[in-house]
Amino acid sequence: MNQYEPSLALTNALLIDGTGGPVIDGATVVVSGSRIAAAGTDVLVSPHARVVDLAGKALLPGLIDAHVHLGGLGFRSTPPFGGRAATDDYAAAREGALRYGVTTQRSLGDFLHDSIAVRDGIESGTLAGARVVTSGPSFQVEGGHPNATVWGSEPAAVREGARMPKSAEEAERMVGELAATGVDLVKIIISNNAIFGPARPELKMPWHLTDAIVDAAHAHGLRVAAHTETVEDARAAVERGVDDIEHLVLRAQEPQDEAAAEELFALMADRGTYLVPTMVAHQFEASADGDARTLRYGNHLIRRAYEAGVRLGVGSDAHSPGLHGWKLRDELVMMVHDQGIPAPAALSMATRTNAELLGIADRLGTVEPGKFADLLIVSGNPAQDITAIGHIHQVIRDGRVVFKGAGA
Ligand SMILES: [Zn+2]
């Protein structure tokens, strides 16, 4: 690097750097190429830099959504393309996310070859969109969700989107094959209660298979995300060494044993297990089903997890066209307004904590020299009023402006 390298200087910004430290007024962030070169209040700006005055605007790390599906419920109408050159495919998920300041998404249950093609296409620059970290398919039980629900057991979809081992040996082999194909982590769906109810206990992932999957994943250096829907299942999954719990509870459930939840949170805080609540998915279900009670109970539980010191990630479970990014904004608003989590903490969770959860904190998640310049610029101060996170001015990914809001 030399002083003549073209650079961009973003000046007079309210800097919310993602570290959880104090908001810095009047900050300058210098971007050189795809990286952040400097950030703070005493930054020298080269006379060759292009200067953009951000008075009245806040500058943050690009948001990270820790739980999405690139195809999700559209799977039935969008057959897997099996790795052929991705063009318009998944455009809503890829580019929709950027419009709301989400610059990285973790895909937790998608078609194997599609999600890897999309991830790699975005990384190499042949596709526009937010960066992708992917589990590829998810481990699930035959007859459960989503193989029997979303895809109606359609063979091509199941082959790409599901792994349904019948034995520990088969589970181990499947994890090895996924690792060789290049997935970033492993996803297990443990509970199926929200759809099938506790009346179908045979649809729960057998614990000996969970053990085999977790051990094999860790042997390959892959983390394990576990979809659970009861406090009891989450507890057993945490004890078996999964790295994060997705959802924790889902719709149509009665409040569970308060003391058991407290024990779970103490265990998670102690072990450093992450929790990604995806409460906005409940909101969606609540409006559909009128089950606002589950939503209230879920918000209460997440508040208690926060107070217990559980590492909270932020995910939206976005899965329908047009919803990527937008749903993460709503998740953040719910965390602050309905769970009572302070806005600066929530913003740090959606940036730094999520980067740690995704294993990319060495290069993303905070505004610090050396990190990739994935940046979100909004009007107003979201550390004071979280709804400002939706007032998008500009979104920068890899040092380049990838979206401009109205008036930008
Ligand atoms: Zn999901």
- Burial track 125-158 (b if 16+ CB lie within 10 A, e otherwise): eebebbbbbbbbbbbbbeebbbbbebbeeeeebb
Indicate whether 86 belongs to any domain. yes
Given a cut of 50, whether residue 278 has pLDDT beyond it is: yes
- How far does residue 227's CA lie from ligand 1's centre (Å)? 8
- How far does residue 66's CA lie from ligand 1's centre (Å)? 10
The total number of residues written for the chain in this structure = 408
- Sign for the CA dihedral angle at 354, 358, 359, 360 comes to negative
pLDDT band at 72 (very low <50, low <70, confident <90, very high): low
- How far does residue 281's CA lie from ligand 1's centre (Å)? 9
Given a cut of 80, whether residue 405 has pLDDT beyond it is: yes
- How far does residue 317's CA lie from ligand 1's centre (Å)? 5
Q: Are residues 43 and 112 in the same domain?
A: no
Indicate whether 254 belongs to any domain. yes
Query: For residue 84, what is the DSSP state?
Result: S
The residue among 193, 202, 286, 271 whose CA lies nearest residue 238 is: 271
Tokens standing for residue 355: 């980067």
Distance CA 257, CA 310 (A): 18
- How far does residue 67's CA lie from ligand 1's centre (Å)? 6
Q: Are residues 26 and 118 in the same domain?
A: no
Indicate whether 1 belongs to any domain. no
The residue among 65, 62, 21, 19 whose CA lies nearest residue 319 is: 65
Q: What is the DSSP string of 49-89?
A: SEEEE-TTEEEEEPEEEEEE-SSGGGGGTS---TTSPPSST
Q: Are residues 393 and 298 in the same domain?
A: no
- How far does residue 162's CA lie from ligand 1's centre (Å)? 13
Q: Are residues 106 and 192 in the same domain?
A: yes
More confident residue, 40 or 87: 40
Q: Tens of pLDDT along 366-381? A: 999 999 999 999 999 9
Indicate whether 353 belongs to any domain. yes
Q: Tens of pLDDT along 179-228? A: 999 999 999 999 987 777 777 888 999 999 999 999 999 999 999 999 99
Indicate whether 216 belongs to any domain. yes
Q: Are residues 39 and 123 in the same domain?
A: no
Q: What is the DSSP string of 182-240?
A: T-SEEEEE---HHHH-TT-GGGSPPHHHHHHHHHHHHHTT-EEEEEE-SHHHHHHHHHT
Parent domain of 370: 7-61+366-404
84: CATH: 3.20.20.140
Tokens standing for residue 334: 């719910």
- How far does residue 333's CA lie from ligand 1's centre (Å)? 20
- How far does residue 367's CA lie from ligand 1's centre (Å)? 28
- How far does residue 279's CA lie from ligand 1's centre (Å)? 11
Q: Tens of pLDDT along 352-362? A: 999 999 999 99
Indicate whether 2 belongs to any domain. no
Query: For residue 74, what is the DSSP state?
Result: G
Specify the pairing of strand 50-53 against strand 7-15: parallel
The secondary element (H helix, E strand) that includes residue 115 is helix 112-124
Q: Are residues 342 and 400 in the same domain?
A: no
Distance CA 287, CA 359 (A): 34
Residue pair 69/94 in contact (Cβ under 8 Å)? The answer is no
In the chain, the number of structural domains is 2
Backbone angles phi, psi at 350, to 5 degrees: -80, -5
Lowest mean pLDDT among 102-106, 119-123, 277-281: 277-281
- How far does residue 316's CA lie from ligand 1's centre (Å)? 8
More confident residue, 274 or 75: 274
27: CATH: 2.30.40.10
Residue pair 358/183 in contact (Cβ under 8 Å)? The answer is no
- How far does residue 189's CA lie from ligand 1's centre (Å)? 9
Q: Are residues 179 and 146 in the same domain?
A: yes
- How far does residue 368's CA lie from ligand 1's centre (Å)? 31
Distance CA 216, CA 77 (A): 33
- How far does residue 70's CA lie from ligand 1's centre (Å)? 10
Residue pair 326/389 in contact (Cβ under 8 Å)? The answer is no
Q: Are residues 339 and 213 in the same domain?
A: yes
Q: What angle do CA 178, 180, 183 make, to 5 degrees?
A: 50
Indicate whether 275 belongs to any domain. yes
- How far does residue 109's CA lie from ligand 1's centre (Å)? 7
- How far does residue 230's CA lie from ligand 1's centre (Å)? 15
Q: Tens of pLDDT along 114-142? A: 899 899 999 999 899 999 999 999 999 99
- How far does residue 187's CA lie from ligand 1's centre (Å)? 10
- How far does residue 341's CA lie from ligand 1's centre (Å)? 23
Q: Are residues 132 and 103 in the same domain?
A: yes
Q: For residue 79, is the peptide bond before it cis, meaning its omega torsion is within 30 degrees of 0?
A: no
**Over residues 327-340, mean pLDDT:** 94
Q: Are residues 344 and 223 in the same domain?
A: yes
- How far does residue 167's CA lie from ligand 1's centre (Å)? 25
- How far does residue 246's CA lie from ligand 1's centre (Å)? 8
- How far does residue 360's CA lie from ligand 1's centre (Å)? 21
**Over residues 55-73, mean pLDDT:** 91
- How far does residue 108's CA lie from ligand 1's centre (Å)? 6
- How far does residue 351's CA lie from ligand 1's centre (Å)? 19
Distance CA 149, CA 91 (A): 24
Given a cut of 60, whether residue 290 has pLDDT beyond it is: no
- How far does residue 319's CA lie from ligand 1's centre (Å)? 8
Residue pair 263/235 in contact (Cβ under 8 Å)? The answer is yes
Which strand ranges, in their side-by-side order, compose the sheet holding 138-139? 162-163, 138-139, 185-189, 223-228, 244-247, 274-276, 311-312
Q: Are residues 69 and 208 in the same domain?
A: yes
Indicate whether 108 belongs to any domain. yes
- How far does residue 268's CA lie from ligand 1's centre (Å)? 21
pLDDT score of 194: 74
Q: Are residues 289 and 331 in the same domain?
A: yes
Query: For residue 349, what is the DSSP state?
Result: I
Neighbours of ion ligand 1 (CB under 5 A): 317
- How far does residue 267's CA lie from ligand 1's centre (Å)? 24
Distance CA 316, CA 342 (A): 19
